[in-house]
Structure 1
Amino acid sequence: MSQTFEAQHRVPEQLAGQRLDQAAAELFTDFSRERLKAWIKDGALTLDGCPGRPKDKVYGGETLSLTAVVEDDARFEPEDIPLDVVYEDDEVLVIDKPPGLVVHPAAGNPDGTLLNGLLHHCPGLAAVPRAGIVHRLDKDTSGLMVVAKTLAAQTSLVEQLQARTVSREYDAVAVGVMTAGGSVDAPIGRHPKDRKRQAVTAGGKPAVTHYRVVERFRAHTHVRCKLETGRTHQIRVHLAHLRYPLIGDPVYGGRLKLPAGAGETLKEVLREFPRQALHARKLAFVHPASGETLQFRAPLPDDLLMLLDFLRDDRETMR
């Protein structure tokens, strides 16, 4: 089975000087650079209506148009993985992802992923690139994700993400006591020495995170973060950049810090907390077909509720 995919994107000024295939990969994020390169060579992806070459430079302002036949992706097997479906219709699917579930197969995680579960839940997603996944959560981040069930819905959602009109809000528990909320406007890119990490770097992509304090504890803060952009590990990197890393973050959390005078139970909870304390609590987007704004909320999972309870008990005990 195959479907025809059609979409257009205007090349933003910040991509000026890049190769055509590089710029296409930035704009048509549902497809790999190699697949886009093949479509450029075949004439399925044009530059201002004209054929181009992958190595051609873009200058900003051009229109990239893609009309291509997308075949079913048979690389991944459907698996009966329980999914917490919050909402579903013919166009979109919203799920509340549990911590510990990898979103997309990769080296080290060839199966047992959300993508495999989606293919079992909705076999028609085999005809949509990446089984309709348009944005990701880290393996150990819980919360809301939207999945497109058709190519048209996927195009719409990707455009909304690129236009920064999808609203995404997170709960996080950070190390340190914040005095007030604020915003972080700092570019994020690959760490110059560790390619598995991200970092605030001058050569990175624009990244903006807004945050506000929900509750303060003796040595920690419950914060609510709203993404303006969606870079890899964005909240984790930005809060660590502010010197307020997330509890349990194995990559950006740094050395474990225990509150002075904390009881043994809290110390054990902080030592053993199994993941970064981050949850995608709220998601809003425009429905691709109806044009209606849909909004969803996911309650805090049990592990974060327990963590907050222990931090409150410690605060009250030490008063």
Structure 2
Amino acid sequence: MSITVRKFTAGPDDNGRRVDRIVRRLYPDTPLSALYRLFRTGSIRLGNMKAKPEDRVSAGDILAIRSSDASGNPDSAAGSLDRKDAPGGDRSSLFAAILIVQTSDLAIVNKPRGLLTHGAGGLDELASAYFSARASGSLAFRPAPLHRLDRNTSGALAISASIAGARAFSLALREGRVDKIYLAVLDGRFDGNEEWVDTLSRTGSDGKTEAGREGARPATTLVEPLAYAAGRTLARIRLMTGFTHQIRAQAAIHGHPLSGDAKYGGSAFAGGYLLHCAELGIPEDIGIENPGIVVAELSPRAEITIKSIFLDIPASFLPRRSPNTLAAGPEP
């Protein structure tokens, strides 16, 4: 049985991470018991010192791991993502095609309807392929979606491009400081603006979000009707809190389910429900390179659908990117 020593250099996005987290990322197929045995025997060293699992690395640190072939191979032999195959190239191109804006810390994409946020063939895989060249500078960090949109919901969605971006955006999201504005087609007519305040929780049986169940938490949504025709309303919706299916659930609770949303009792609507995150507003003071307010335009199909129902809708009601909007950065 041969013994090998592999050395890895920590990148900027590894700064402050625990050694055991990095080693687990590098050796994803190796049992935890075997990895911690390497720590106990002094086979993992940080610089010139025996590493402990709780030690934290700094950018530029050298991590040396002495192991047998039986211990498993590190992910891509250097903690980077291997995306040189043709499918990976396709995924990278798909991500580039939906990219709205990119900074050194965040990327904002316009997720199309039908694309999963996470999972096989999902946005997380597209992001990994697109950032593969940059990710090779980190042993543990992987760019990934920072929140989610349902499969059939489209629009603006943030992707981490650095660990600083992931931490700053996630904190702002938890604090309720990320502004999210949607367009939706709802059943029925509104008499004016509405504020929906409910207590919501997720059911385990059918995956629906419902009101008033045990463990429910408060949810607030602001609704501004823009146009009405043929029993349907086009509305601008601002999320004040963030729950899975929040808009879909509250719309149904208040008697205005999304048209075409069969899960929540919506009326029949060709092509399924239309829910689009049109704006994502990121606070200026979160300490990273910031794209500010990002506008995601409707797909041509969604825009045609809206204009075919609401015939005289002003163009200003539909999301349009400003000509001077910060452009998407070059592919790394």
TM-score, with length taken from structure 1 = 0.65
Alignment of 1:46-125 (within 5 A): 78=88, 80-81=90-91, 82-83=94-95, 84-105=98-119, 111-123=120-132, 124-125=134-135
Matched-pair contact (CA < 8 Å) for 2:259–2:266 = no
Alignment of 1:1-319 (within 5 A): 3-5=14-16, 78=88, 80-81=90-91, 82-83=94-95, 84-105=98-119, 111-123=120-132, 124-125=134-135, 131-191=143-203, 194-202=205-213, 203-254=215-266, 256=268, 270=269, 272-273=270-271, 275-286=272-283, 288-290=286-288, 294-313=292-311
Deviation at 1:151? Answer: 1.3
Any idea what the Cα deviations from partners look like across 1:219-262, whole Å, max 9, x if unmatched?
00000100111110111111011111112213113453xxxxxx
Q: Distance in 1 between matches of 2:281 and 2:310?
A: 30
Matched-pair contact (CA < 8 Å) for 2:154–2:275 = yes
Deviation at 1:312? Answer: 2.9
* DSSP 3-state at the match of 1:119: helix
Deviation at 1:210? Answer: 0.8
Q: Distance in 2 between matches of 1:165 and 1:112?
A: 30
Shift of the 73–291 alpha-carbon distance from structure 1 to 2, 3 Å rule, reads closer
Any idea what the Cα deviations from partners look like across 1:51-89, whole Å, max 9, x if unmatched?
xxxxxxxxxxxxxxx9977x9597999562312111112
Deviation at 1:276? Answer: 2.0
Q: What amino acid is aligned across from residue 197 of structure 1 in structure 2?
A: K
Matched-pair contact (CA < 8 Å) for 1:115–1:130 = no
Shift of the 293–96 alpha-carbon distance from structure 1 to 2, 3 Å rule, reads closer
Deviation at 1:188? Answer: 1.6
Deviation at 1:182? Answer: 1.2
In terms of Rg, which structure is larger? 2
Matched-pair contact (CA < 8 Å) for 2:187–2:266 = no
Q: What amino acid is aligned across from residue 137 of structure 1 in structure 2?
A: L
Q: Distance in 2 between matches of 1:75 and 1:181?
A: 50
Matched-pair contact (CA < 8 Å) for 1:286–1:293 = no
Q: Distance in 2 between matches of 1:292 and 1:165?
A: 14
Matched-pair contact (CA < 8 Å) for 1:198–1:237 = yes
Matched-pair contact (CA < 8 Å) for 1:101–1:140 = yes
Matched-pair contact (CA < 8 Å) for 1:209–1:226 = yes
Equivalent pairs counted in the alignment come to 238
Shift of the 129–236 alpha-carbon distance from structure 1 to 2, 3 Å rule, reads farther
Q: What amino acid is aligned across from residue 279 of structure 1 in structure 2?
A: H
* DSSP 3-state at the match of 2:241: coil
Q: Distance in 1 between matches of 2:142 and 2:245?
A: 20
Shift of the 251–131 alpha-carbon distance from structure 1 to 2, 3 Å rule, reads farther
Is the deviation greater in 150-159 or in 200-209? 200-209
Seq. identity, %: 22
Aligned Cα root-mean-square deviation (Å):
3.3
Unaligned runs of 5+ in 1: 7-37, 43-65, 106-110, 257-269
Deviation at 1:309? Answer: 2.2
Q: Which has the higher contact order (CA 8 A, sep 6+)?
A: 2
Shift of the 309–255 alpha-carbon distance from structure 1 to 2, 3 Å rule, reads closer
Q: What amino acid is aligned across from residue 292 of structure 2 in structure 1?
A: L
Any idea what the Cα deviations from partners look like across 1:86-136, whole Å, max 9, x if unmatched?
11121110111111110101xxxxx21111110111114585666332111
Provide runs of 4+ in structure 1 moved above 6 Å: 66-69, 73-77
Shift of the 222–254 alpha-carbon distance from structure 1 to 2, 3 Å rule, reads closer
Q: Distance in 1 between matches of 2:261 and 2:16?
A: 39
Matched-pair contact (CA < 8 Å) for 2:168–2:288 = no
* DSSP 3-state at the match of 2:247: helix
Q: Which residue of 2 aligns with 1:108?
A: none
Is the deviation greater in 91-100 or in 72-81? 72-81
Deviation at 1:285? Answer: 0.6
Q: Which residue of 2 aligns with 1:11?
A: none
Deviation at 1:181? Answer: 1.5
Q: Which residue of 1 aligns with 2:316?
A: none
